[in-house]
Amino acid sequence: MSKGTILVIGSNATELEAQGGGTIKIGQFLNETAVPLMTLVAAGYDFVLATPTGEKPHMDQDSDALIYFANDDEARSRARDFFNGHPSMNDVRTIRSVIDGGLDRFVGLFFPGGHAPVVDVMQDADAGEVLRYFHTKSKPTAAICHGPTGILASLDNAHEFRAALIDGDTAKARELARGWQYAGYRMTVFSRGEEEYAEDNVFHKKLIFNMPDALEAAGGNVVNTDQNFTSFVVVDRELVTAQNPMSDHELAAKFIEVLGKSA
């Protein structure tokens, strides 16, 4: 018997704007998607995957690498098989259709990582409606790496807030975010130092804004570990956030713990 159903909000984005023009190829990170979901399924939970368009998220090809699986090729293969073949990964709904079908049946909410949520999810009105429901009901919400930017969708002016970040207008962003439901929450996200490494060594381009700045402008109390690319998870009330790809297993364990207490 299932312990309950988790709503997973994924992204359809494949490109992210870069500073000075051009784009960066992105997607949903393999381990940040598959590892927490495989762990949840093994623990007795079901899940429903929803995206803004109803299409399956694109896997970030840079994430299909052994470094994110402790150099264990078998673990990477299991994750890849899950991402590509699990029935719930391929029965994708629109976020709107899930809302219309009723949110009461879900016991938790999960935002996978990869840069993709920075493009569409963080300014998606339907994702915002879901977040406001889960927050009102104090139902557990988890997010990893860049996934925590997705919770910014709960802002009333999420699209305008994102535009202010791109313009570097922090004052306007703070004003637009006044009264955010997660203001004052302790949370984590991909750090400034980790992003600089990705910009210099992977993308060879600069991002339009960094993730801690975005969450702090909205009122979040962002904390990061001093050691880049080591596991770090923060739990504050119903919100569970993880800093980077290496936090996948710890995020899953703490999310399951919070789900158990919420049941």
What's the average model confidence in pLDDT over 198-205? 94
* Cβ pair 235, 253 in contact under 8 A: no
What's the average model confidence in pLDDT over 239-262? 98
CATH fold group of domain 4-157+227-262: Rossmann fold (3.40.50)
Give rounded-to-5 percent helix, strand, coil for the chain. 50, 20, 35
Pairwise CA distance, residues 242 & 92, whole Å: 24
Residue 58 confidence (pLDDT) above 90 = yes
Interval 95-150: pLDDT, tens: 999 999 999 999 999 999 999 999 999 999 999 999 999 999 999 999 999 999 99
Residue 169 confidence (pLDDT) above 90 = yes
Q: Give the Cβ contact number of residue 73 at 10 Å.
A: 9
What's the average model confidence in pLDDT over 54-64? 97
pLDDT value for 109: 98
Residue 1 confidence (pLDDT) above 90 = no
pLDDT value for 260: 96
In the numeric block, the tokens 């051009």 are attached to 22
pLDDT value for 167: 96
Question: Counting runs of H as helices and runs of E as strands, what totals does the chain give?
Answer: 10, 11
Interval 21-38: pLDDT, tens: 999 999 999 999 999 999
pLDDT value for 244: 98
Enumerate the domain spans of the chain: 4-157+227-262
What's the average model confidence in pLDDT over 46-65? 97
Q: Give the Cβ contact number of residue 67 at 10 Å.
A: 12
* Cβ pair 106, 139 in contact under 8 A: yes
**Exposure string (b/e) for 82-111, b if CB count within 10 Å is 16 or more?**
bbeebebbeebbebbebbeeebeebbbbbb
Interval 204-245: pLDDT, tens: 999 999 999 999 999 999 999 999 999 999 999 999 999 999
pLDDT value for 31: 98
pLDDT band at 263 (very low <50, low <70, confident <90, very high): confident
